Amino acid sequence: MRLVKNFVAILVITISLFLVCDFILSHIGVNPYDLLKRYPDTMVSGIAHPVYHHDLKPNLDKIEAWGPLKYRLCTNPYGFKVSCNNVRETRKDFDIAFMGDSFTESVGTIYEESFVGLYAQKHPDIAVANFGVRAYSPSIYFKKIEFLLNNGFTFNHLIVLPDISDIRDEAILYTIDGKIGSIVDNIEHIAFEESINEYEIENKIINSFHKMLAKHFKFTWFINCSIYDYYNDDGTGEKIIKGVADSTISRWTRDIDSPHYGKEGVLGGIRKNLEYMRRLKQLLDKHNIKMTVVVYPWPAQLFFEDRDHLGMQIWKDFCIKEGCYNFIDANPFFFDEIQKSSKMEVIKKYYIHGDVHFNTEGNKAMFAVIDNSFQR
């Protein structure tokens, strides 16, 4: 009996010391995800901006981590993702510029294998810029373009790639401060600044206790996630894909009443997206710049076989009403691919495993769709 009591006492003391250390380390900024480089080191590659909230740091040449992937990330003096051979490029005049979020930045992929980089290589006679950065949405699209135009940048055509996540971003994250005219965020830490991967949290937090662990006991949370991954890996990856597909961030395209979009709800997020995209369109018209809108699916739309989803319809209707120069829908390509194999095979082929973003094959597919459909 004494042996059992001693064992229990040692166990309780060990767990207590671990939790105390976990709490202290978590609150001084030590994170197991960063230590193991499992998730994006965004605090190193990102920088706050006084007008449009955040950007990539200028003059980067570093090995970036995104999930299990490591890739070389380079930026020019203005913070645009570029080929590492062009980090000193300072031109401000472009023929075509791309604007979007992490999909347009092409996280997890070197510039040359991103769809923007592939387009630039295919058309060396055209000056191409990538203005896209992770965690952008239409209010930031608008303010960044306004800032660039006011600071000597010129371009003839802007290709905008609104993302599925933009609806929630505008519903709960961003607003333009009427007094200072700059983007401010509504929560303490947005996805761009979180060192714990957002989709990891979305798929594994199921109650307030889990939220508390993720915030205050990051090493305990890490162990919890590792156990979750172990028991949800069936060898085929299908359980992980299903978990990614059911993210609350993309749920709005099939559930307009989803409760995960703040006080204004999904419809409020849609209204703000349309408002800022109209303001962006008006700004471009004022400068005689053409606007093309490109839409694409997340794994969620493919998994739930939501071909004509709301995320596509919104921007198609927007372009008809506002007079976009082009509207390019990449959804048919991916759904046609499903007919040739299966939705699981298509998701595995074109998306980063356990993530919503395109892998190198997905970037090739996006490049092909844009290159074949885009009219200058």
184 or 226: which leads in pLDDT? 184
Task: Quote the CA–CA distance of 104 and 34 in Å, as a whole number.
Answer: 24
Task: Quote the CA–CA distance of 201 and 39 in Å, as a whole number.
Answer: 12
For the chain, which residues make up each domain, given as ranges? 1-30, 35-373
pLDDT band of 193, cuts 50, 70, 90: very low
The pTM assigned to this predicted structure is 0.81
Per-residue pLDDT at 316 exceeds 80: yes
Contact 101, 116 (CB under 8 A): no
What sign results for the dihedral spanned by CA atoms 267, 269, 275, 281? negative
Task: Quote the CA–CA distance of 252 and 309 in Å, as a whole number.
Answer: 10
Task: Quote the CA–CA distance of 198 and 315 in Å, as a whole number.
Answer: 25
Angle at which helices 343-350 and 238-245 pack, to 10 degrees?
A: 80
What would the pLDDT profile of 212-229 be if each residue is shown by its tens digit? 766 777 777 667 766 665
What would the pLDDT profile of 322-340 be if each residue is shown by its tens digit? 999 999 999 999 999 999 9
Which of these ranges, 87-91, 123-127, 300-304, has the smallest mean pLDDT? 87-91
Q: Which fold has domain 35-373?
A: Rossmann fold (3.40.50)
Q: What per-residue confidence (pLDDT) applies to 198?
A: 43
Task: Quote the CA–CA distance of 350 and 340 in Å, as a whole number.
Answer: 14
Residue 289, C-beta contacts closer than 8 angstroms, at least 6 positions apart: 155, 156, 157, 158
Assign 250 to helix, strand or coil. coil
**Mean pLDDT computed over every residue of the chain:** 86
Assign 182 to helix, strand or coil. coil
What's the token pair of residue 340?
């040739």
pLDDT band of 260, cuts 50, 70, 90: confident
Per-residue pLDDT at 135 exceeds 50: yes
Angle at 239 between CA 69 and CA 260, to 5 degrees: 85
